[in-house]
Structure 1
Amino acid sequence: MPLTPQATPMTYWLEHAWLGSHVASGVTVETADGRITAVRTDAPAPPPGAEALHGLTLPGLANAHSHAFHRALRGSVQVGSGTFWTWREVMYGVADRLTPDSYYALARAAYAEMALAGITCVGEFHYLHHAPGGTRYADPNAMGQALIAAAADAGIRITLLDTAYLSAGFGDPPNQHQLRFSDGTADAWAERADALKGAEHARIGAAVHSVRAVPAGELAAIADWARRQQAPLHVHLSEQTAENDACRAAHGRTPTQLLADHGVLGPRTTAVHATHLTDEDIALLGGSTTGVCMCPTTERDLADGIGPAVALQEQGSPLSLGSDSHAVIDLLEEARAMELNERLRTRTRGHWTAAALLRAATADGHAALGWDDAGTLAPGALADLTTIRLDSVRTAGPVPRLGAETAVFAATAADVRHTVVGGRQIVRDGTHTRVPDVPAALADAIAAVRG
């Protein structure tokens, strides 16, 4: 069931709504053709014909960094100890078993889980391009098209960040598992990416997997492609200290400095993780207004570390949030974790306001994915809404004191009651309207690739 433009105008009455700086009660939002046409704050009761959304309504949440197939790893890679690198070997095993059909089923279920969590747009960092061993499918973009179709059928928007992954490390060819990721050269990657087509719900972006996986001489070609397409460009950056050490050994500079030298940084670029940075790295990212996507639940699950998010934002980098490996799919938890991680690191509180954390999860996340027209409850914006219930054991409390803090520091994904995308209700009263049994869909799709 494709995500088509809204057929008829629709009016929603929001019991309470976060309007960017404050919570207002009795807000009427009028929508047409998938966009908000009017916002009124003077309706103590639902007007005739309006759909009432009880709870606290936010702009739709943006998950700026996802690897959909990692959803199959939840609950297994957490067993025992190990490192990022041992986790990666398990990940390769799942990747080896995916086909376009099984990837569609897994991604559709994962994206439906995101919709249940109030996520209306996902940035899919996609590098599973070819068949195992590197054999090309008849349609070279069969795997990417499967993801675009999965998002449509789950009812959410997607930015497909088609990822260049050309080498195993600095000077090393792809290993057996990575052959299906690689197009061989940046020019071959660009030729395949040129054939990808967007849709009403889908936009196409680019990604450099990492400075490990793209030789330095190929970086500029990928940045140039994104520039020509006016597309977002994402890159895994300094997630591990081993990457920094190897980059210095190979090039005599940090990964951030290498990216700057080859024209990768800039306002359309988002660095993902950015965990282990020097002061000069932070200045380069902020000074170029390169965005940074923090993924706190994955970074803590893999013991990566706590990135310098405060310093990056102070230097000029907009922040967004992602669930990455999907150990947890909960953008409210990602927002909360960014602040709480910083409290643990510094032993002080209040690094971001709740409003700033929500902005990272909404407007700034959408901007990182090329959807500058989403993430606010304002006329002209895409009609994407997320409503959090206020009567759960986590959120119950006096309404007069209600603020953004209720969403960020009390609620979880389990409290999402309604999700609206393009003016259409995708989640109603906690039930997905297109995927009736999301847990069963997840269980079936994961069993197919895990056995």
Structure 2
Amino acid sequence: MSGDDATADLRGRVLWAPRAWVDGRWQASVRLAIDAQGRWAEIAPGVAVGPDALRLDGPALPGLVDAHSHAFQRAFAGLAERREGEHDDFWSWRDRMYGVALALTPQALRAVAAQLAVELLHGGYTQLCEFHYLHHEPDGSVHDDPLEMSWALADACADAGLGLTLLPVLYERAGFAQPTLRADQRRFATDAAQVRAMRDAVRAARRPLLDAGVAIHSLRAAAPASIARLVEDLGDGPIHIHVAEQTAEVDDCLHSTGLRPIEWLAAQRWLDARWQLVHATHATPAEIDAVAASGAGVVLCPATEANLGDGLPDLPRWLARGVPISVGSDSQVTRDWPSELRLLDYGQRLHLRQRNVSAAPAAGEPSTAARLFERVRVGGGAAAGQPRWGLEAGARADLLVVDGADAPLLGVPAANTLDALVFSSPGRPFRDVMVAGRWSLRGGRHPEEAAIAARFERAMRELWAVAD
């Protein structure tokens, strides 16, 4: 784009794309009208470019939702990839991660989260669901403003131009048989009343691109009575929970309750379309069927689950049962959705020794990338509490302009653009990224990228001087 086309704020304007992902497929000559509030007023394929339209420089995709994130763990990405002893697993990684959590100030958290937000925009995400449990002072006392760390996250996303669904977390004990938190979990402590108050205060602020739901860390970290108090008469908005990520967690839940974690949740009859089950790696067919019947969704985090050695989900059954699916960057070892979708199917290929496991040719969906992308587009909107998501009237005006000159896409037939974007060599395929009718990235660059990176680098030096 050039000249008038480069305007940062396009609310109230009309765009035109040579191709765009509409109704689950590529369509040609698409007119996209943005209303004054930054939502799509009209999406019309098969329309010639008009004199009022700003022509996009490539195919347009919807931005996706990063449905599960711990932003502060961006400061730890790549720094836990050595094993000094005989054994290393999720639980030993978690102990090391707590040291980072204890060292972060609000200023450092904002610097880390802003860097993450810019990277997520480059990775094709336009909305972040932040599973937020890093609330208090390093000694465990409450900040003068209990939401100080929450505002640091909100400010960071605002700095970058990324949408945010903040999910304050209920976190009150260290395990099923441990009624209190460990000393190194002291910054996380909340009860149901505090979590609801945080959600309501964030919503009451009415900041642009900011919304809130609630989260429950896990069944091991919250008593059943506390979960019941949190979700009773909660109203609308998403409810997220870590569940069945590790086999040890499943075993502990069986020992304590007589039921597996997802089985226990389903038995409470709480699950509905607001609920998002994060990881759900070790789910039985009966549990998947129960989730499908409830309308709840599942959030898969393939890169983090691989990094932590969690295991592989039963993806074919989640897909076959029509459960809403989304993906999340979680521990931030990967920060783009093409990598997550690629690893999602590659894990199944290695496990089943088949190719294109996620494709469904009998249902008219022969493209693995297209089927996964469309399922994640819809599921991600639900995870973020957005009733409409994508290139459709009424949804927020978010889009990605694909850079056909990016090396993995050079010469690729138009029909295979999404296939190559996910399964060819990683690149930086998004030329421009729009959030709510405003450009957040233009020409592959963020206007504040250098300043945000400098603050992040400074925060990392200070953090690791302390953490070491």
The answer to whether the superposition gives a TM-score over 0.5 is yes
Where in structure 2 are the equivalents of 1:339-378 lying within 5 Å?
A: 339-350=345-356, 351-352=358-359, 353-374=368-389, 376-378=390-392
CA drift at 1:444: 2.6
In the alignment, structure 1 residue 243 sits paired with structure 2 residue 249: yes
Change in CA separation of 1:11 and 1:412 when aligned onto 2, cut-off 3 Å: farther
CA drift at 1:122: 0.5
SS in 2 for 1:246: helix
Tell me the equivalent position of 1:210. Answer: 218
Quick one: which amino acid aligns to residue 255 of structure 2?
Answer: A
Where in structure 2 are the equivalents of 1:99-178 lying within 5 Å?
A: 99-172=105-178, 173-178=180-185
Tell me the equivalent position of 1:78. Answer: 81
Quick one: which amino acid aligns to residue 389 of structure 1?
Answer: D
The answer to whether the 8 Å contact 1:432/1:438 transfers is no
The answer to whether the 8 Å contact 1:65/1:123 transfers is yes
Where in structure 2 are the equivalents of 1:29-428 lying within 5 Å?
A: 29-33=32-36, 34-42=38-46, 47-48=50-51, 50-80=53-83, 82-172=88-178, 173-183=180-190, 185-197=191-203, 198-224=206-232, 227-350=233-356, 351-352=358-359, 353-374=368-389, 376-410=390-424, 412=426, 414-428=428-442
Separation (CA, whole Å) in 2 of partners of 1:343 and 1:7: 42
Change in CA separation of 1:51 and 1:412 when aligned onto 2, cut-off 3 Å: farther
SS in 1 for 2:241: strand
Quick one: which amino acid aligns to residue 13 of structure 1?
Answer: W
SS in 1 for 2:374: helix
> Percent of aligned pairs with the same residue?
34
Separation (CA, whole Å) in 2 of partners of 1:162 and 1:385: 28
CA drift at 1:278: 2.3
Separation (CA, whole Å) in 1 of partners of 2:35 and 2:72: 34
Quick one: which amino acid aligns to residue 263 of structure 2?
Answer: Q
CA drift at 1:54: 2.0
The answer to whether the 8 Å contact 1:336/1:357 transfers is no
CA drift at 1:296: 0.3
SS in 1 for 2:56: strand
CA drift at 1:400: 4.3
Separation (CA, whole Å) in 1 of partners of 2:316 and 2:275: 19
CA drift at 1:347: 1.7
Cα displacement string for residues 26-64 of structure 1 (whole angstroms, at most 9, x for unaligned residues): 3332212201222343466x6446443323210011100
Quick one: which amino acid aligns to residue 297 of structure 1?
Answer: A
Change in CA separation of 1:413 and 1:391 when aligned onto 2, cut-off 3 Å: closer
The answer to whether the 8 Å contact 1:207/1:235 transfers is yes
Separation (CA, whole Å) in 2 of partners of 1:244 and 1:49: 58
Tell me the equivalent position of 1:432. Answer: 446
Change in CA separation of 1:171 and 1:288 when aligned onto 2, cut-off 3 Å: same
The answer to whether the 8 Å contact 1:418/1:430 transfers is yes
CA drift at 1:6: 5.6
Cα displacement string for residues 2-46 of structure 1 (whole angstroms, at most 9, x for unaligned residues): xxx9674223232332223332343332212201222343466x6
Separation (CA, whole Å) in 1 of partners of 2:39 and 2:195: 35
CA drift at 1:438: 4.9
Cα displacement string for residues 239-279 of structure 1 (whole angstroms, at most 9, x for unaligned residues): 10110111111111111122223344221101010011223
The count of aligned residue pairs is: 442
Quick one: which amino acid aligns to residue 428 of structure 1?
Answer: R
Q: TM-score, normalised by structure 2?
A: 0.89
CA drift at 1:373: 2.3
Separation (CA, whole Å) in 2 of partners of 1:26 and 1:277: 43
Cα displacement string for residues 163-213 of structure 1 (whole angstroms, at most 9, x for unaligned residues): 101100113110112111012x32344344443335331111011100111
What is the aligned-residue RMSD (CA, Å)?
Answer: 2.2
Change in CA separation of 1:292 and 1:264 when aligned onto 2, cut-off 3 Å: same
Judge which range, 426-435 or 205-214, deviates more. 426-435
The answer to whether the 8 Å contact 1:29/1:38 transfers is yes
Tell me the equivalent position of 2:365. Answer: none
Separation (CA, whole Å) in 1 of partners of 2:348 and 2:422: 15
SS in 2 for 1:229: coil
Separation (CA, whole Å) in 2 of partners of 1:349 and 1:323: 24
Q: TM-score, normalised by structure 1?
A: 0.92
Tell me the equivalent position of 2:18. Answer: 15
The answer to whether the 8 Å contact 1:92/1:177 transfers is yes
Structure 2, gaps ≥5 residues long: 1-7, 360-367
